């Protein structure tokens, strides 16, 4: 019985995650955040949901909340290049250029494309 419950729980988390991604695509950030909340609650460790929820917060201009989610995504998945890149963008918009530079360098070292002009701006 427990294995069935856990399998159902994981699928439910993915279902909420997918709905959140659809809301993100439509620019419905509050609805996306609610879905990512449910995905994280259902699945527990879910770095992709933290990263996408962080992106939704970023789009709403809620940079501190976004940073917390990107930090958690990186904590759960240290080689998550998207989370480093996204966190770097938040630092950039908060005018925290040293942190933005570090995150962009890390993202690039993990294979994420970073536009050369962004490095030029940060340099």
Q: What is the pLDDT of residues 81-111, one digit of tens each?
A: 999 999 999 999 999 999 999 999 999 999 9
Specify the 3-state DSSP secondary structure of 93.
helix
Half-sphere exposure in the Cβ direction for 59 (13 Å, CA): 17
Here the tokens at position 60 are 């709403």
Threshold 0.75, pTM exceeds: yes
Here the tokens at position 87 are 């966190």
Q: What is the pLDDT of residue 122?
A: 83
Q: What is the mean predicted confidence (pLDDT) over 20-35?
A: 96
Q: What is the pLDDT of residues 49-79, one digit of tens each?
A: 999 999 999 999 999 999 999 999 999 999 9
Here the tokens at position 70 are 């990107």
Higher pLDDT, 42 or 67: 67
Using CB atoms within 10 Å of the CB of residue 102, give its burial: 0 to 12 exposed, 13 to 18 middle, 19+ buried.
Answer: middle
């Amino acid at each position: 019985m427990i294995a069935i419950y856990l399998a159902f729980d994981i699928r439910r988390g993915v279902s909420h995650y997918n709905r959140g991604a659809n809301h993100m695509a439509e620019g419905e950030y509050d609805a996306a955040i609610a879905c990512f909340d449910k995905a994280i609650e259902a699945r527990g460790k879910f770095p992709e949901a933290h990263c996408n929820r962080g992106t939704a917060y970023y789009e709403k201009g809620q940079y501190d909340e976004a940073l917390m989610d990107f930090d958690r995504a990186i904590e759960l998945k240290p080689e998550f290049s998207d989370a480093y890149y996204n966190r770097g963008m938040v630092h950039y918009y908060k005018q925290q250029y040293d942190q933005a530079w570090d995150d962009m360098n890390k993202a690039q070292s993990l294979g994420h494309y970073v536009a050369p002009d962004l490095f030029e701006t940060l340099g």
